């Protein structure tokens, strides 16, 4: 789960990281009130889960409550990279003398957490990594954890002034606690700012949580943003389906993530465009199948649907029952193509044929058929 | 005729009385796997499908000489189960459970790695988590792969996926290409056995003649595998990468399958394989014919004099053959690939061309 900046800052504040005071607003009026309470110059920042908010006009300074109202109104009217801005963070503004980059993330190859540090902060770090990789310092955190002296040694070349070095090392140690105790896959401060007075601050915060760790983090539930989820995504999450909407017109329901991705690839290979990634998971039941069909038909552009099931733990007859039940409740207005093979395939075929449906065994054939049907619908 | 498991595998099932553990214990026994023990804390002394149940893995190993473990316990307890199996001294630990927090997997991974280093034997080996396990057709299966889609033969299969692996294995079988071992390494960001470990083992396995590698988006294991193949693998490899149409920033089911920061894309991975002469299938159904062609070329090559046949990457790093490889490569203007004997490079390049 990706956290909004305001949520990540809440998490940071809990661990004592220096973030500037601020609050989230959903209307210009709220933004004005928050700005009035904070006093002085504030920064209004769009809360959407994409990078490049600044470039898109989603970050503005405001000198006083009335200007905060205007800027918040402008930003709340924006759509950034396809995402409508529904919330803004109103925070006290800071003067900045230097901007650095500091992050901890998982190095999958070395299987250790990795600190990334750069004097080139405040900009897109991926751009820095591409164009000037020597500007990024990388250091793995040993299995036993990070020690304060290691933090100081790492930061020393970038913080010559004693007080700043101490502050920065304290920030890195706290960021490490956020990362490890908080089960993050990424904890990032960009920029890590130094004010003209020599104070070191976390001016922005980006956190990605390890979804698998939610079994021990009940507190994460309040961060789940219903506004960020479409109805389809919510239903998918509640039913334990893995779903990603795409731009095409051929819906697919598949068991297994790898097979689901491969199905999308095959659709594209034969000239179609997949409408979604949808993995109904291992032990599937008719209810999941019904939910999957409801999610996909809820997306307006879908012209035909392909079921691609390789029965292992998933039983083909369960899927067939789900299809039959679902169609019984609400007939499908678009063509349905079913490919299934594996566990209980024969029973599944019987169930389908009893209801006037048929299934193919070949994945390529299923894909070619569904593309043809989608084209017929279009014509 | 296989890697990691065979007729000598004596398996203990951790979580044997759970729903998945019980079901797959039956499936594994039916396939011919020697399931010698089960473990469920608090249920020691019971029997399940004739298999004695113990309270802990160490007890089970002491009583039954089990040398491999498979884990079906819930995610919250799975890392502990890996530690327990490793400390009990089994050689192979296969963790089927999905949904382990990465922090837990990291701790278990490094514990296993430390034991392995101390033992100096390459054991214990961890496979998974979040994987379908492995099967050496006709010999043994550990995990949840369906046995009936496999048949014994010369192709080694290694994959990050589950059902996609079944799909590819079934297509290989239909095409008459049996398998030495089919191994699902798992879809998580951190896994115990990676492509390189599998490639190294398949390369050393005398009965494996060709290797199918099924990768997916996310991470850089495929790119690292490609570099390893260039230096150390003489057997033909065919690759497929799932997720060519996946958008960046979205997790495609598997925790490890995400394109982040512009890296981990299918295009990059496919290019990495093609750059080292590994044919890449555009869709899974192209895999069997690519594999058959590649193995055919190798067999044809094997009919040449023995001196040429036995050149291996390891041997080639020895001075005489390396020198010969360099000379020949330079002669053909393939200086950049000098470490690889030239005939192989040329035939692979031809294979890649022939596909288009």
Q: What is the pLDDT of residue A329?
A: 84
Looking at chain B, the whole-number percentage of residues with pLDDT higher than 90 is 75
Residue A35: pLDDT band with limits 50, 70, 90: very high
pLDDT at A126 over 50: yes
Query: Which of A44-58, B129-143, B235-249, B336-350 is predicted least confidently?
Result: B336-350
- Cβ atoms of A306 and A339 within 8 Å: the answer is yes
Yes or no, beta carbons of B253 and A260 under 8 Å apart? yes
Once rounded to an integer, what is the mean pLDDT over residues B153-159? 97
**What mean pLDDT, rounded, does chain B reach?**
86
Mean pLDDT of all residues in A337-360: 91
Does residue B100 carry a pLDDT above 70?
Answer: yes
Give the H or E element holding residue A262: helix A257-269
Q: Is residue B328 one of the residues assigned to a domain?
A: no
Q: Are B184 and B282 found together in one domain?
A: yes
C-alpha span between B230 and A28 (Å, rounded) = 60
Q: How close is the nearest chain B Cα to the Cα of A258, in Å?
A: 5
**Domain A229-378, CATH:** 3.40.50.261
My answer on whether B101 and B181 are in the same domain is no
Q: Are the beta carbons of B75 and A310 separated by less than 8 Å?
A: no
Task: Measure CB to CB from residue B163 to each of A213, A259, A269 and give the nearest one.
Answer: A259
Among candidate residues A377, A339, A364, A335, the one with its CA nearest the CA of residue A271 = A364
Higher pLDDT, A375 or B298: A375
- Chains A and B form CB pairs within 8 A to the count of 165
Q: Does A195 touch chain B (CB under 8 A)?
A: no
Q: What are phi and psi of B69, to 5 degrees?
A: -130, 145
- Give the count of domains, chain B: 2
Model pLDDT, residue A125 = 77
Contacts of B101 in chain A (CB under 8 A): 183, 210, 212-213, 215-216
| Chain A residues with beta carbon closer than 8 angstroms to that of B164 | 256, 258-259, 261-262
Is the pLDDT reported for residue B300 higher than 60? Answer: yes
3-state SS, one letter per residue, for chain B: CCCCCCCCCEEEEECCCCHHHHHHHHHHHHHCCEEEEEECCCCCCCEECCEEEECCHHHHHHHHCCCEEEECCCHHHHHHHHHHHHHCCCCEEEECCCCCCHHHHHHHHHHHHHHHHHHCCCCCEEECCCCCEEEECCCEEEECCCHHHCCEEEEEEEECCCHHHHHHHHHHHHCCCCEEEEEECCCCCCCCCCHHHHHHHHHHCCCCCEEEEEEECCCCHHHHHHHHHHHHCCCCEEEEEECCCCCCCCCCCCCCCCCECCECCHHHHHHHHHHCCCCEECCHHHHHHHHHHHHHHHHHHHCCCHHHHCCCHHHHCCHHHHHHHHHHHHHCCCHHHCCCCHHHHHHHHHHHHHHC
Q: Is residue B70 located within the same domain as residue B192?
A: no
> Is B18 contained in some domain?
yes
- Catalytic-residue membership of A6: no
Facing residues of A260 across strands?
A: none
Asked whether the predicted pLDDT for residue B322 surpasses 60, the reply is: no
pLDDT at B324: 39
Q: Which residues pair with A187 in a beta bridge?
A: A104, A207
Q: Which DSSP letter does residue A201 get?
A: E
User: In the listed set B99, B127, B155, which residue is the last one of a domain according to the structure?
Assistant: B127
B329 is a domain residue? no
Pair B159, B56 in one domain: no
**Chain B CB within 8 Å of residue A52 CB:** no
**pLDDT value of position B260:** 78
Residue, of A62 and B313, whose pLDDT is higher: A62
Highest mean pLDDT among A116-130, A289-303, B183-197: B183-197
Tell me what pLDDT residue B267 has.
Answer: 94
Render pLDDT for A68-86 as a digit per residue (tens, 0 to 9).
Answer: 999 999 999 999 888 899 9
Separation CA A172–CA A357 (nearest Å): 61
A218-238, pLDDT tens digit by residue? 989 888 877 777 788 888 888
pLDDT at residue A154 above 60?
yes
User: Between chains, do B146 and A312 touch, taking CB under 8 Å as contact?
Assistant: yes
A98-223 belongs to CATH 1.10.3470.10:
no
Evaluate if residue B314 carries a pLDDT over 60.
Answer: no
What local confidence, expressed as pLDDT, does residue A337 receive?
95
CATH code of the domain in which B66 resides: 3.40.50.720
Q: Is the pLDDT of residue B142 over 80?
A: yes
pLDDT of B337 strictly over 70: no
A284 falls in which pLDDT band (50, 70, 90)?
A: low
Residue B284's domain spans which residues?
145-293
Residues B285 and B150 in one domain: yes
Same domain? B91 vs B187: no
- Rounded to a whole number, what is the distance in Å from the CA of B328 to chain A's nearest CA? 35
- Within its chain, how far is the Cα of A11 from the centroid? 17
A189-217 burial: b if 16+ Cβ within 10 Å, else e: bbbbbbeeeeebbbbbbbbbbbbbbbeeb
The better pLDDT of the pair A122, A357 is held by A357
Domain extent listing, chain A: 21-92, 98-223, 229-378
User: Quick check: helix, strand or coil at residue A152?
Assistant: helix
Q: How confident is the model at residue B343 (pLDDT cuts 50, 70, 90)?
A: very low
CB B248 within 8 A of CB B325: no
**Quick check: B315 pLDDT over 60?**
no
Instruction: Tell me A79's DSSP state.
Output: E
What is the predicted pLDDT for the residue at B344? 41
Instruction: Give the residue from B293, B308, B330 where a domain finishes.
Output: B293
pLDDT at A330: 80
Indicate the pLDDT class of residue A282, thresholds 50, 70 and 90.
low
Query: Same structural domain for residues B157 and B21?
Result: no
| 3 state DSSP class of A229 | coil
Q: What is the pLDDT of residue B350?
A: 39
Considering the domain architecture, whether residues B100 and B186 belong to the same structural domain is answered as no
Second CATH level (architecture) for the domain A21-92: 2-Layer Sandwich (3.30)
Residue B138 domain-assigned? Answer: no
Contacts with A274 from chain B: Cβ below 8 Å: 245
Q: Are residues B154 and B96 in the same domain?
A: no
In a domain, B64, yes or no: yes
DSSP collapsed to 3 states, B219-262: CCHHHHHHHHHHHHCCCCEEEEEECCCCCCCCCCCCCCCCCECC
User: Domain boundary residue among B277, B293, B309?
Assistant: B293
B105 and B159 belong to one structural domain: no
A82: left (phi over 0), alpha (psi -120 to 50) or beta: left
pLDDT tens for each residue of A7-34:
999 999 999 999 999 999 999 999 999 9
B308 found inside a domain: no
Which residues of B carry out catalysis? 254
Look at B253 and A255 and tell me if their CB atoms are within 8 Å: no
Q: How, if at all, do strands A276-279 and A242-245 pair?
A: antiparallel
Task: Classify residue A4 by its DSSP letter.
Answer: P
Least confident window among A266-275, A279-288, B209-218: A279-288
Specify whether B91 is located in the same domain as B210: no
Residue A169 has pLDDT above 70, yes or no: yes
Q: Which residues of B220-257 are buried (b: 16+ CB within 10 A; e: fewer)?
A: bbbbebbebbbebbbbbbbbbbbbbbbeeebbbbbbbb
Average model confidence (pLDDT) across chain A: 91
């Amino acid at each position: 789960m990706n956290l909004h900046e305001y949520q990540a800052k809440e998490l940071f504040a809990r661990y004592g990281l220096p973030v500037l005071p601020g609050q989230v607003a959903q209307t210009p009026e709220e933004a004005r009130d928050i700005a009035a309470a904070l006093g002085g110059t504030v920064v209004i920042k769009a809360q959407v889960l994409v990078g490049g908010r600044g470039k898109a006009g989603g970050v503005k300074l405001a000198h006083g409550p009335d200007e905060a109202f205007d800027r918040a109104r402008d930003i709340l009217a924006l759509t950034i990279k396809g995402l409508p801005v529904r919330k803004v963070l109103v925070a006290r503004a800071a003067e900045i003398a230097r901007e650095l980059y500091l992050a901890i993330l998982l190095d999958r190859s070395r299987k250790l957490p990795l600190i990334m540090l750069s004097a080139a902060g405040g900009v897109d770090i991926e751009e820095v990594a591409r164009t000037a990789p020597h500007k990024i310092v990388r250091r793995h955190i040993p299995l036993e954890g990070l020690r304060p002296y290691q933090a100081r040694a790492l930061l020393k070349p970038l913080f010559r002034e004693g007080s700043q070095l101490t502050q920065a090392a304290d920030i890195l140690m706290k960021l490490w606690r956020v990362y490890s105790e908080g089960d993050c896959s990424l904890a990032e401060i960009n920029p890590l700012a130094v004010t003209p007075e020599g104070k070191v601050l976390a001016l922005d915060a980006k956190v990605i949580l390890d979804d698998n760790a939610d079994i021990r983090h009940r507190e994460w539930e309040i961060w789940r943003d219903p506004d960020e989820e479409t109805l389809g995504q919510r239903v998918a999450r509640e039913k334990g389906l893995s779903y990603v909407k795409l731009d095409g017109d051929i819906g697919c329901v598949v068991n297994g993530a790898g097979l689901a991705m491969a199905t999308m690839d095959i659709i594209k290979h034969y000239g179609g465009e997949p409408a979604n990634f949808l993995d109904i998971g291992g032990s599937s039941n008719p209810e999941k199948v019904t939910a999957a069909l409801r999610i996909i038909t809820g997306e307006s552009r879908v012209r035909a649907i392909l079921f691609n099931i390789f029965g292992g733990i998933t039983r083909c007859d369960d899927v067939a029952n789900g299809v039959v039940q679902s169609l019984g409740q609400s007939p499908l207005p678009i063509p349905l193509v079913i490919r299934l093979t594996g566990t209980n395939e024969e029973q599944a075929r019987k169930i389908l044929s009893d209801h006037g449906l048929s299934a193919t065994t070949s994945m390529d054939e299923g894909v070619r058929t569904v593309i043809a049907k989608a084209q017929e619908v279009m014509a | 005729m296989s890697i990691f498991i065979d007729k000598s595998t004596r398996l203990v099932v951790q979580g044997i009385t759970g729903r998945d553990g019980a079901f797959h214990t039956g499936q594994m026994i039916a396939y011919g796997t020697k399931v010698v023990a089960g473990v469920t804390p608090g249920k020691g002394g019971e029997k399940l499908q004739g298999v004695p149940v113990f309270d802990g893995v160490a007890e089970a190993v002491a009583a039954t000489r089990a040398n491999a473990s498979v884990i079906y316990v819930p995610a919250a307890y799975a890392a502990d189960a890996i530690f327990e199996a490793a400390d009990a001294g089994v050689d192979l630990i296969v963790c089927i459970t999905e949904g382990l927090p990465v922090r837990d997997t990291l701790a278990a991974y490094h514990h296993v790695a430390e034991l392995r280093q101390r033992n100096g034997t390459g054991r214990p080996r961890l496979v998974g988590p979040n994987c379908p396990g492995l099967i050496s057709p006709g010999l043994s299966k550990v995990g949840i792969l369906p046995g009936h889609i496999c048949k014994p033969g010369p192709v080694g299969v290694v994959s990050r996926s589950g059902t996609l692996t079944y799909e590819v294995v079934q297509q290989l079988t239909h095409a008459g290409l049996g398998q030495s071992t089919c191994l699902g390494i798992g879809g998580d960001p951190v896994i115990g056995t990676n492509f390189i470990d599998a490639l190294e083992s398949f390369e050393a396995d005398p009965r494996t003649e060709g290797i199918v590698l099924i990768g997916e988006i996310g991470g850089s294991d495929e790119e690292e595998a490609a570099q390893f193949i260039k230096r150390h693998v003489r057997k033909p490899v065919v690759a497929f990468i799932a997720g060519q149409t996946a958008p960046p920033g979205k997790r495609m089911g598997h925790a490890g399958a995400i394109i982040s920061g512009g890296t981990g894309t299918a295009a990059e991975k496919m290019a990495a394989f093609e750059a080292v002469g590994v044919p890449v299938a555009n869709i899974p159904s192209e895999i069997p014919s690519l594999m058959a062609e590649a193995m055919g070329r190798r067999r044809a090559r094997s009919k040449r004099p023995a001196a040429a046949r036995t050149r291996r990457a390891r041997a080639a790093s020895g001075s005489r053959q390396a020198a010969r490889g360099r000379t020949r490569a330079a002669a053909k203007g393939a200086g950049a690939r000098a470490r690889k004997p030239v005939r192989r490079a040329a035939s692979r390049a031809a294979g890649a061309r022939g596909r288009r």
